[in-house]
Amino acid sequence: MDRAGLLQKLARSGEFDARVLRAIGSVDRTLFLPPERASQAWEDCALPIGYGQTVSQPLIVAMMSQALSLEGWERVLEVGTGAGYQTAVLSQLCGEVASVELIPELAASARERLEQLGVENVQLRCGDGWQGWPELAPFDAMIVTAAPATIPVPLLEQLGQAGRLVIPVGPESGDQRLQRICRVGSSDRFETRDLGAVRFVPLVDPLAADRYDQRR
């Protein structure tokens, strides 16, 4: 499948608005893959990028982007930069992206790649995405590209008024569900909508992992 074929497939589904389709079409997925995977860039599947991580399939990138209901002015937090593909798509849809990546090598390569592409509305740092980015909070929307077993409380705390969080939740080897969580106004209440079954690499709570290691 080529880029045009993928866009036709997404458009035929009727699930995505014109802004999301334009964003997907404007970002060359080939640039976010290892050279040996370049020929698969427009296949609608997740592809490995090293370090046990993947680039999400375009359908999922489009679905998660659509679920954020972005209008173009928002500040968005992304947890899990990876290669920077979802980051680049988000940069076309909102005012500013703050992206956090735990793996130093991926963070460095994503930063270099986005700079080469002239993406100017992204801030990227290497760190613990479980904790969000409190210095830049609140956020109008958040997207998490790895699956925690439970929703990280710091992310909910950093979600702004009527903010939206799109996140896969569930165990690594069990049922994972993509969820859209919305803050009700400025209250401490949240509404959750299930968007279906997904499969993501795990988002590990480093503090929980440390406690586990200490018990061994």
Q: Given 13, 56, 69, 187, which residue is catalytic?
A: 56
Q: Which two tokens stand for residue 159?
A: 């979600």
Catalytic site includes residue 56: yes
Decide: 156 and 167 in contact? Cβ < 8 Å.
Answer: no
Q: Which two tokens stand for residue 122?
A: 């992204």
Contacts of 209 (CB under 8 A, 6+ apart): none
Cα 183 to the center of its chain, rounded Å: 19
Decide: 121 and 98 in contact? Cβ < 8 Å.
Answer: no
- Residue 65 CA to residue 180 CA, distance in Å, equals 11
Q: Which residues are catalytic?
A: 56
